[in-house]
């Protein structure tokens, strides 16, 4: 009888900068899920919340920044950009953003002609 030992090691595969655009009705949880995955993979994350929920985003980003810095990670790993739909379009179209995550509904309501909910350059 043959026996095998198999060791699995998790490996981060950082892409660089990940953008997350969130809607007004579920902003913090969606960002939290995406930020956790992005950070675990070794990426920096830019959060662009709905223009109607900037105070939630400011509060959460402040908490995240404090936690990161207390653990020796630069707070800028979690960046926040507020603004309107044109700000979101500029982020998603930027060549400096390596991966973008956002809801298709955000695009349909913005009339900006962006065609995917997950953009990887």
Query: What local confidence, expressed as pLDDT, does residue 102 receive?
Result: 72
Strand order in the sheet with 118-120: 78-80, 44-48, 17-21, 99-101, 118-120
Q: For each of the chain's 121 residues, which pLDDT tens digit applies?
A: 677 787 777 777 889 999 999 888 888 998 999 999 999 999 999 999 989 889 999 999 999 999 999 999 999 999 999 998 889 889 988 899 988 877 655 555 555 555 444 444 4
Query: What local confidence, expressed as pLDDT, does residue 78 receive?
Result: 96
Query: What local confidence, expressed as pLDDT, does residue 85 receive?
Result: 84
Query: What local confidence, expressed as pLDDT, does residue 64 receive?
Result: 96
Query: What local confidence, expressed as pLDDT, does residue 5 receive?
Result: 80
Query: What local confidence, expressed as pLDDT, does residue 96 receive?
Result: 92
- Report d(CA 121, CA 118) in Å as an integer: 10
- Report d(CA 28, CA 42) in Å as an integer: 21
Query: What local confidence, expressed as pLDDT, does residue 112 receive?
Result: 52
And the tokens for 21? 């655009």
Q: Is 111 left (phi over 0), alpha (psi -120 to 50) or beta?
A: left
The CA radius of gyration of the chain, in Å to the nearest whole number, is 17
And the tokens for 7? 């060791």
The CATH fold assigned to 17-120 is Aldehyde Dehydrogenase; Chain A, domain 1 (3.40.605)
The residue ranges of every structural domain in the chain are 17-120
And the tokens for 22? 């969130």
């Amino acid at each position: 009888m043959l026996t095998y030992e198999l060791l699995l090691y998790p490996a981060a595969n950082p892409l660089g900068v990940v953008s997350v655009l969130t809607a007004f009705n579920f902003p913090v949880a969606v960002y939290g899920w995406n930020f956790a995955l992005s950070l675990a993979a070794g990426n920096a994350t830019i959060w662009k919340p709905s223009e109607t929920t900037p105070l939630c985003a400011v509060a959460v980003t402040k908490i995240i920044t404090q936690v990161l810095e207390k653990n020796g990670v630069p707070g800028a790993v979690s960046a926040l950009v507020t603004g309107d739909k044109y700000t979101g379009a500029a982020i998603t179209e930027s060549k400096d953003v390596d991966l973008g995550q956002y809801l298709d509904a955000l695009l349909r309501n913005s009339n900006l002609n962006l065609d995917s909910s997950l953009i990887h350059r």
